[in-house]
Structure 1
Amino acid sequence: MTPREATAARAWMAEEDKTACCQMKTAAAVVYIREGAHGLETFLTYRPTPESPMGRICFPGGVVEQDDHEPVGWYGPTPAQWAQKLGHDDVVVARSAVVAAVRESFEEVGVLLSGPNEQDTVEYTEASETMASRESIAGHELGFIAYLKRGGLKLRTDLLKPLGRWQTPDFSHRRFDTHFFASVVPVGQRPKLLSSKGVWGRWVPARDVVADRSSTALGDEIGREDTVGRPLEELMTPGTLCVLESLATCQTTIAFLTKKRQVHVKKPELVEKNGELMLAFTPPRDAVRTRSKGA
């Protein structure tokens, strides 16, 4: 935990009423993967907002916005089918998480999982006009769904694969139900940070990142005051770390995307050990199996 989280946790532990501090907001993140020389790679970014549900280093993503509930063209599983895949009773919430995943991906890194039909996707997203539209969407001057309609595009939700849901611990003053999806960058596209907000982002080998959780190398590379000298546990959420663990045990993109998964809602629990507060959670089953073999 970060010092800020530890302070909130101790205050919560001191209270008699151990109910959640606040209601959860719905959030979504897209885990883009590709094969590299050292196993599967994923695209990570730096997020400067302290209260982000994603942590400091994360996958492209963010919180559901009101516009994500607007009608939009749709290919792939229906909202009801997505609700079932994501373990939701509320179809509206599940649908909004899917829309937010596609919107945040386009806004933050310029990868657009949309197309004019159910076979094709947009092949080029690096034009200056596209960046201008992304900036307008980020600044709430242009609605994402309005942008899609203007271009005759519909969401390609079939390109998203559900990975899991992670909820923020009860002691947090800002709580989120984050939906993780996996995908590959469509042909002809490549991630590019938003000009006005992007600080750091690149493809990283998942195996190398999680090999030493105490390492400060990634935070030092970013070079920000809130990242230098800090280990992964202080820069990433448990959900992000667990997804990276799963990626590290898989060799190919196809194997990772086609693996059958049942989405379970996970929430780290606050525990105290030798006077120190920490978050306890169950790592992904495949990561546990690999570790037991000494890999």
Structure 2
Amino acid sequence: MNSPDPQSPDLAGAVPASTVVIARDGAAGLEILVIERAKGMGFAGGAIAFPGGKVDEGDAPAGPAFEGFAGLDPDDALARVTAAREAFEETGILLSRGAPLDDGLRDQLRPMSDRHEIAFADLLARIGHRLSADVLTPFARWLPPPGLHKRFDTRFYLAALPDGEVHLADGTEAVHARWARPAALLEEADAGAISILFPTRCNLARLAQFADTGSLLADPTPPPFIQPRIDGEWLTIPEGIGYPYTAERWESVRRS
């Protein structure tokens, strides 16, 4: 079974989603923030992943809390807000700009946002923050092959860790959060110490090529739209689009 033509993707049944790779420079170079999803989650339970989730129409970037979104493709604009919201809910990190947030108010607003009791636009207005579109750099878009039980049409973004922001897993969807070098995470996965999905492995391999946050964010590679193919015993992605890891045996691919 082959994936559809990237120029006319088969989006039937695919749920729009958004993910953000938050990066910083550590003692040994580029580090990224990853979460461990709760084992009871319906998708990728127990896996190591980047903060993210389903796109919500309530994330529309309308109002003075948003800057630089007007000229973007509407789906891209919406997904960027979702990425910022999910980063806040799952890790406590605000990608918006404004005065430092009191820990008590941060702890109050995170579950409210997660329960959709406050829209992200209203949350930003309440704390006097503005979210700029340019703090989220498109990295890739992944669409699984048709026929799978769960298909998420996922946009991946990059963001540098804002000064003064620290992470804390929410304890529900994300039971742990930590900084790590992409190469170290791949080593852990190869040793069986952690579980990762095929797109996560591919993206970690791509991220491992960069020495620091500056070189990652300055990468001129256009963000690819990737639709893996099932070729016999292998799940593959195209070569020549910035990914050094392009194939995995279908029998070993984790699909939920």
TM-score range, shorter chain: 0.7 to 0.9
1:165-189: CA deviation from partner (whole Å, max 9, x where unpaired)? 1112212122221111111111111
Q: Which amino acid aligns with 1:271?
A: D
Native 8 Å contact 1:114 1:153 kept in 2: yes
Q: Looking at CA atoms only, which structure, 1 or 2, has the larger radius of gyration? A: 1
Q: Which residue is 2:126 aligned to?
A: 150
CA distance in 2, matches of 1:286, 1:39: 20
- Work out which of the residue numbers 42, 48, 65 in structure 2 matches 1:50: 42
- Work out which of the residue numbers 256, 281, 289 in structure 1 matches 2:237: 281
Deviation at 1:256, TM superposition (A): 0.8
Whether 1:236 and 2:161 are equivalent positions in the alignment is: no
Q: Which amino acid aligns with 2:230?
A: L
Native 8 Å contact 1:39 1:248 kept in 2: no
1:128-163: CA deviation from partner (whole Å, max 9, x where unpaired)? 221111011111222222111222322122211111
Q: Which amino acid aligns with 1:110?
A: G
Q: Which residue is 1:67 aligned to?
A: 58
CA distance in 2, matches of 1:284, 1:104: 31
Unaligned runs of 5+ in 1: 1-8, 13-18, 83-90, 116-120, 220-231, 290-295
Could you tell me the TM-score, scaled by structure 2's length?
Answer: 0.81
- Work out which of the residue numbers 97, 100, 104 in structure 2 matches 1:123: 100
Unaligned runs of 5+ in 2: 3-8, 246-256
Could you tell me the TM-score, scaled by structure 1's length?
Answer: 0.71
CA distance in 2, matches of 1:150, 1:282: 45
**Total equivalences in the alignment:** 236
- Work out which of the residue numbers 201, 205, 220 in structure 1 matches 2:177: 201
CA distance in 1, matches of 2:188, 2:88: 31
Q: Which amino acid aligns with 2:197?
A: M
Q: Return the structure number with greater helix share.
A: 1
Native 8 Å contact 2:61 2:81 kept in 1: no
- Work out which of the residue numbers 260, 265, 268 in structure 1 matches 2:220: 260
Q: Quick one: structure 1 residues 46 and 195, their matched pair in 2 at CA, closer, same or farther if it must change by over 3 Å?
A: closer
Native 8 Å contact 1:47 1:56 kept in 2: yes
Task: Write the mapping of 1:161-172 to structure 2, written as runs, cut at 5 A.
Answer: 161-172=137-148
RMSD across aligned C-alpha pairs, in angstroms? 2.7
Whether 1:176 and 2:181 are equivalent positions in the alignment is: no
Task: Write the mapping of 1:7-156 to structure 2, written as runs, cut at 5 A.
Answer: 22-48=12-38, 49-51=41-43, 56-69=47-60, 71-72=62-63, 73-76=65-68, 78-80=69-71, 82=72, 91-115=73-97, 121-124=98-101, 127-156=103-132
CA distance in 1, matches of 2:33, 2:87: 11
CA distance in 1, matches of 2:164, 2:19: 22
1:25-77: CA deviation from partner (whole Å, max 9, x where unpaired)? 2111110112234432111101232336x98211111111121126233223x
